[in-house]
Chains A and B, each alone.
Chain A
Amino acid sequence: MARDAEIRLREKLAKLGGVSLLRGTKVSGEVERLQRQLERLRAETTDEDIWRSVELARHEDRPYTPDYVERILEDWFELHGDRGRADDAALVTGLGKLAGRTVALIGHQKGRDIKERTERNFGMAYPEGYGKAMRVMELADRHGFPVVTLVDTPGAYPGVAAEQHGQGGAIARSQAVMARLGVPTVACIIGEGGSGGAVAIALADRVLMQENAIYSVISPEGCAAILWRDASQARKAAAAFKPDAVHCLELGVIDGIVPEPPGGAHADPDGAARLLGEALALALDDVAGIPPDELRRRRRAKFRAMGVLA
């Protein structure tokens, strides 16, 4: 399995090597970092590395969706509301230009200070948030705009009203809409990819993860509380279910890892944004020009193959 991941990284390196010739020196930094990743992969990810990812993914200074939007997109115009009931601030949606083309962007937003965090509900969306996301995806589909999603949520909000408004169904339908889109889609986990609330907007042609992001079926604390009956065993739980980017790549869940500046994305938001913008544009190039039916077929086939059988 580690070998597969290594091959995939090598392929990507080869591809990037070629691209750097065409586009000057811009991506050479990424090549270097991918090579570093390759070395790390060979060195085997340790439990400490995994926990470091968990901490960095949740770092309070980590760049969020709006930090990337303002650095990566031009002519950004935010779209508000689900056209039914509410505007969920935990999910940001809008239109902007990424490397010259109009894209629809959908991303979680946790909020920076305590006031904003309360407004944004710590990035935990209600069904209305997924309703807004679906509306914007359909808008993009009508106009042929690629869809870019940035995933950063502890999970969909577990509350009485959220359940009454149909949280489970909203997450299911949001995935269904993504499975049906005829436009290219790229998702990137930029922090916490927490369970259903994350995958709701991550059924994409290309799924990327930032180097220090995590993507998991449950939070380490939640897993520890259920399986170890002790939430303080979170570190042990994380080591067991391996939510880090390298393991997700190994398991075939993601298509690539987006490097971060040394020390993590929060140490150099501009550098992190540049690397993310390049990776998103490359991923979109990768799936551009494929006819809608073929694009859908390939997207579904990719997810159809996920899982390991005995």
Chain B
Amino acid sequence: MSSSRIDVSIEHKNAPASPDGKAHPNTCPGCGSHYRDDELEASLRVCPQCGHHFPVHARERIAQLADEGSFAEEAAELRSADPLDFFDLRPYAERLVEAEAATGLGDAMVIGRAAIEGLPCELAVMDFSFMGGSMGSVTGEKFARACESAVEAGLPIVSVSASGGARMQEGILALMQLPKTVCAVEDLRDAGCALISVMAHPTTGGLLASFASLGDVLIAEPGALMSFAGPRVVAQTTREKLPDDFGRAEQNLRFGHLDAVVPRPELRATLGRLLRLFAKA
């Protein structure tokens, strides 16, 4: 993508900040190392120096997990409507168009049939770069369709969430995607299909309060924030000093809300093992 942007082959402290003052997205917030895009892609977007997990776009995530050439996308044509004519500082319709132009995605989730280590499954992968991965009508619809597709084929489903929660611009209809996706999971359970939920950074708010928490197996990436309320809201409401690892995957594992924290380089093999375990004899 931007391989010629910064010509350094090894980590480079204090990389140039972008004009708006934010750190460059390829600069590690953990240790300050800076990478070319192809370097990060090769390391699955995990910092080789400190192990920080950078965000992964949905399509790149699918390429990381699925057997080469196995992915067949479904429901790619779905787009959000603007039922409330929502307007904050800018119209929702404009934000949608912009998000699609920036990400090449129709919404914050990509679904489809794939195989992992030779085992067929349904995939539902979120993309945080599409409006913060927020869940609106289309996101919920895509997840429900992925469940239905899994049920129809008698396959397990693997979800990878990365979302701040419900999409405010769709108001109460965004909240209704919680019960909608929960109902889809219940149908999945009735059909005997497994849900393996992988939580990437962040999986918060309405995502944690719906399908992402309902997997038969719950996995998170190291350092992923998994809290219902964000740290800022909690700090403001309670005036408590938050623990350093507040809401992080490691804390959730300690408190019993997760089955495993799996580093990204081991994720594909872990999913392969789980799919073998859940495979119908």
> What residues make up the interface of A, taking CB atoms closer than 8 Å to B?
1, 156, 158-160, 162-169, 171-173, 175-176, 179-180, 195-196, 199-200, 202-203, 215-218, 222-223, 226-228, 237, 240-243, 247-248, 251, 253, 299-300, 303-304, 306-310
Contacts and interface: CB of A to CB of B under 8 A. Distances in A.
A217 B174 contact: yes
A300 B182 CA distance: 9
Contact of A218 (B168, B176, B227): B168
Given A176-B214, A251-B172, A199 B179 contact: yes
Given A160-B238, A176-B186, A309-B141, A171 B84 contact: no
Contacts of B173: 251, 253, 306-308
A241 B229 contact: no
Given A172-B209, A241-B171, A251-B83, A180 B186 contact: yes
Given A196-B228, A217-B171, A253-B173, A240 B213 contact: no
A132 B248 CA distance: 26
Contacts of B112: none
B88 A228 contact: yes
5 contacts: A168-B227, A172-B214, A217-B166, A303-B182, A306-B176
Decide if the interface of chain A is mainly helix, strand, loop or mixed: helix
B70 interface: no
B255 A165 contact: yes
B141 A307 contact: yes
A71 B137 CA distance: 39
Interface string B138-174: 1011001000000000000000000000101111111
Interface residues of B, number: 63
A172 B182 contact: yes
Contact of B213 (A168, A223, A309): A168
A125 to B, nearest CB: 11
Contacts of B170: 217, 307-308
A196 B178 contact: yes
Interface of B: 78-81, 83-84, 86-89, 136-138, 140-141, 144, 166, 168-180, 182-187, 204-206, 208-214, 226-229, 233-234, 237-238, 240, 242-243, 246-247, 251, 255-257
A65 to B, nearest CB: 21
Nearest to B86: A240
> Which 7 pairs show the lowest CB-CB distances between chains A and B?
A168-B208, A307-B137, A158-B229, A241-B171, A227-B88, A168-B228, A300-B183
A216 B167 CA distance: 12
Nearest to A198: B175
A308 B83 contact: yes
B172 A216 contact: yes
A226 B229 CA distance: 14
A217 B137 CA distance: 13
B224 to A, nearest CB: 13
Contacts of B210: 171-172, 175
Contacts of A217: 166, 168, 170-172, 174-175, 206
Contacts of B233: 158, 222
Contacts of B137: 306-309
A241 B234 contact: no
B171 A243 contact: yes
Contacts of A310: 78-81
Nearest to A159: B238
B47 to A, nearest CB: 27
A160 B229 CA distance: 9
A180 B190 CA distance: 10
Given A195-B175, A242-B84, A203 B182 contact: yes
Contacts of A167: 209, 227-229
A160 B242 contact: yes
B152 to A, nearest CB: 15
A164 B231 CA distance: 12
Nearest to B138: A309
Contact of B257 (A162, A169, A175, A195): A169
Contact of B184 (A158, A196, A304): A304
A253 to B, nearest CB: 5
A307 B177 contact: yes
Contacts of B88: 227-228, 237, 240
